Amino acid sequence: MAKRKASPEKKTPVKRGRVTEQAAPSTSSDTHQVKAVKRKAQQDGAGTTSAPKKIKLAEPTSEDREQASSSVDTGKDCSQNTKGCTKNGRNKSAGDSKESPKKKKKDKTKNVVQNSAADQQREYQARYVQEHHLGNGGCGAVFAGYRITDHFPVAIKHVPKNRIPIQVTDENGKEVSVEVAILLKLAAEADGSVGTSAPVSLLDWFDFGTELILVQERPVPAVDLFEYIRENGGCLPEGKAKVILKQLVDAAKDLEEKHIFHRDIKSDNILIETGSDVPRVRIIDFGLSCFATEQSQFRFFYGTPIHSPPECYWGKKYRPGPTTVWQMGVVLYEALHVGDFNIMTFIENELKFNEHLSPHCRNFLDACLSDVPEKRPTLGDLQRHPWLR
């Protein structure tokens, strides 16, 4: 699910850049830099904040590369692989007079793939109607739409094959987008019908050959947390932030138990359903997520650079649990303060805190934003924290 497109009559601050692509692992000694779309700094009473500095991240470790062979249904670490689908070779020209049996077989297989893609396009068009553009996710464009049979609102995400950042191997030995694999796993393990889980549900997906089409539910009415905070004056009352964080921590804990590491939980990737008195949290955009265990360690960073935990900035390995807890702290900080969180401001000890926070809230925030990952509480600890009770 991508960010909501600003209406013509409103000027919305440009949102924080999702990582749209990650450099492939290199054998050189140069440090990697995550490519990200710059986000326009918000203005407050003190003026305009300066642009964030580039964060240099360390090389991928051997563990990162070995995880590329992990399969979808083992629940082990996911691939850090950034490769996309290979392009088909040039067709034999009409002037060529000879073809080997092997070449004929290859071309026949290619035609089957093309026919299959055409069939999927027809099937997609028979089921869904695509409407206006909603915005861009980390790896593709997203459009509003509806299901033809019952006019159920959907979000339709187009992901070019060459922009799929991570792939894993399914039970048939075929490489598939990790986003599709994770959403299928969540759908298979869902306790109820569509709309009952915190992550938005995958309804359908299609392979058009050059791009993937992901059809997901589109909660209505809803707005992402970034916009929700803006509509509430730039920061939320502590009580309202508590309602959102409690749901978010519960959702993150559920993902952890399913061995899913989102890796980019932030206000832009959290939808708030606004159709009732109590706002409801939904998690979107699993494009950079992966399968992971409690012991998994990574050094090749995927996510939003200005939100990276300090261990990534210092070139150390990062783990799913402590990183997700850090992201809980970043989300809470931005909910309770005007302006964006920036890791450089944190590193330089210049992060300013709201003096009117309750002691329990400040303790929760300080615990999540500990610069030592081993000192951060677990998601289970956060669920039991006095501030959320």
Q: Would you state the structure tokens that stand for residue 281, as one six-digit string?
A: 């949290």
Q: Would you state the structure tokens that stand for residue 216, as one six-digit string?
A: 């997901």
In sequence order, what are the residues at sequence separation of 6 or more whose Cβ sits closer than 8 angstroms to the Cβ of residue 258?
185, 186, 189
Which one is catalytic: 77, 207, 264, 340?
Answer: 264
Which element (helix H / strand E) includes 155?
A: strand 153-160
**What one-character-per-residue DSSP string does 114-135 give?**
HHHHHHHHHHHHHHEEEEEEEE
In sequence order, what are the residues at sequence separation of 6 or more whose Cβ sits closer than 8 angstroms to the Cβ of residue 176?
72, 167, 168, 169, 170
Please state, in angstroms and rounded to a whole number, the distance separating the CA atoms of residues 42 and 13. Answer: 7
In sequence order, what are the residues at sequence separation of 6 or more whose Cβ sits closer than 8 angstroms to the Cβ of residue 76?
67, 70, 259, 291, 292, 293
Residue 99 C-beta-side C-alpha neighbours within 13 Å: 14
**What one-character-per-residue DSSP string does 214-233 give?**
EEEE--SSEEEHHHHHHHTT
Please state, in angstroms and rounded to a whole number, the distance separating the CA atoms of residues 145 and 149. Answer: 12
Tell me if residue 254 is catalytic.
no
b/e string for 63-77 if b means 16 or more Cβ within 10 A?
ebeebbebbbeeebb
Q: Would you state the structure tokens that stand for residue 47, as one six-digit string?
A: 């003026």
In sequence order, what are the residues at sequence separation of 6 or more whose Cβ sits closer than 8 angstroms to the Cβ of residue 101?
none
- Are 154 and 215 contacting, i.e. CB atoms less than 8 angstroms apart? yes
- C-alpha distances (whole Å) from 72 to each of 24, 109, 173, 184, 243 are 21, 25, 10, 10, 33
**Which residues are tagged catalytic?**
264
